[in-house]
Amino acid sequence: MKPALIRLHIAVFLWGFTGILGRLISLNEGWLVWWRMLIAAFALWILFFFSRQIQKVSLRDFVKIASIGTILSLHWLLFYGSIKYSNVSIALTCLATTGLLSAVIEPLFFRKRINPTEIILGSFALAGIVIIYFSNLQFSVGIYVGLLSSLATVIVSVLNKKIVSGYTPQAITLYQLSGGFIGLTLLMPFYNILLHSSIQYPTSIDWIWLIVLAIFCTVLTFLLYIRALKQLSAFTINLTLTLEPIYGIILAFAVFHENKYLSDYFYIGFALILVAVLLQMRRLIKQTGAGEKQ
């Protein structure tokens, strides 16, 4: 196995671990994301300053990138909210629908025709979500929030393709995290009013988990992912990324024994979503050519 592929799997595994950390950290979802973005952005500024990788951007482009970063912060807020209102497995299952949502939403943004096959595959995923929903009604709020989280990350992906260009991935990540932190900070007073909350400070153990989340599961994963992009094919990367919810759910079963709280229908629903995702991946392989595999 190539070192680049090992690095990519480490990054995906760490992304899957973020759900575990979201449940371990006692902060509510809003302040959890606020502290995560603060620590991660601060670490990236220090890292890129000393490695001289800070790329200047115009004010106009910074506003665009920061706006996308704010949507990214909302994606994280909704993702951790889904965990708080349900559990890690439910949140990650909802996140697994991202690829299929993207297949439907991207054509709307770029004014392309929606492929009927993707509608059928999307229906498979929708059927899976419906089965999970009605067999786990106690987690209904978490499912709603999780699907909104999936929608938010699709919007981030689409806007990155449509708006952001001419900058290195390092610059985009730096300014998205920084701008997202600023945007979230401006939104937090409204969040506090809506949820009857107030500023929350991490406990001693929260600091440990937050540093792991921000440094290892955000900054380190980004660096590993960027290196993988340079050495692996798009096919290999996209196929490996589909493992994130699987890694996360296995970890949730091992750490929190969440399998005890999920009905048998959860596995049927998850299987439908997974089959739809794999079939969509198979379609993409045929379109781009399997000769790119590594």
- Residue pair 180/102 in contact (Cβ under 8 Å)? The answer is no
**Over pLDDT 70: what percentage of the chain?**
94
Give 155 or 290, the one with higher predicted confidence. Answer: 155
Give 126 or 182, the one with higher predicted confidence. Answer: 182
What pLDDT score was predicted for residue 261? 87
**HEC profile for the chain?**
CCHHHHHHHHHHHHHHHHHHHHHHCCCCHHHHHHHHHHHHHHHHHHHHHHCCCCCCCCHHHHHHHHHHHHHHHHHHHHHHHHHHHCCHHHHHHHHCCHHHHHHHHHHHHHCCCCCHHHHHHHHHHHHHHHHHHHHCHHHHHHHHHHHHHHHHHHHHHHHHHHCCCCCCHHHHHHHHHHHHHHHHHHHHHHHHHHCCCCCCCCCHHHHHHHHHHHHHHHHHHHHHHHHHHHHCCHHHHHHHHCCHHHHHHHHHHHHHCHHHHCCHHHHHHHHHHHHHHHHHHHHHHHHHCHHHCC
How many domains are there within the chain? 1
**Which amino acid makes up residue 53?**
Q
- Residue pair 214/39 in contact (Cβ under 8 Å)? The answer is yes
pLDDT for residue 187 is more than 90:
yes
pLDDT for residue 291 is more than 50:
no
Reading the block at residue 125, the tokens are 């995923």
Place of tokens 């392989």: 285
What pLDDT score was predicted for residue 98? 86
Q: Render pLDDT for 124-133 as a digit per residue (tens, 0 to 9).
A: 888 999 999 9
How far apart, in whole angstroms, are the C-alpha atoms of residue 251 and residue 72? Answer: 24
pLDDT confidence tier of residue 106, bands split at 50, 70 and 90: confident
What pLDDT score was predicted for residue 89? 95
Segment 200-205 mean pLDDT:
97
Segment 252-264 mean pLDDT:
92
Q: What is the mean pLDDT of the chain?
A: 89
- Which class for 114: exposed (0-12), middle (13-18), buried (19 or more C-beta within 10 A)? middle
Segment 191-211 mean pLDDT:
95
- Residue pair 28/175 in contact (Cβ under 8 Å)? The answer is no
Q: Render pLDDT for 57-68 as a digit per residue (tens, 0 to 9).
A: 999 999 999 999
pLDDT confidence tier of residue 286, bands split at 50, 70 and 90: confident
What pLDDT score was predicted for residue 289? 57
- In this prediction the pTM is 0.90
Q: Render pLDDT for 44-93 as a digit per residue (tens, 0 to 9).
A: 999 999 999 899 999 999 999 999 999 999 999 999 999 999 999 999 99
Segments forming the whole domain that contains residue 143? 3-292
- Residue pair 8/237 in contact (Cβ under 8 Å)? The answer is yes
Q: Angle at CA 22, nearest 5°, toward 186 and 207?
A: 75
pLDDT confidence tier of residue 186, bands split at 50, 70 and 90: very high
Q: How many residues does the chain have?
A: 294
- Residue pair 29/86 in contact (Cβ under 8 Å)? The answer is no
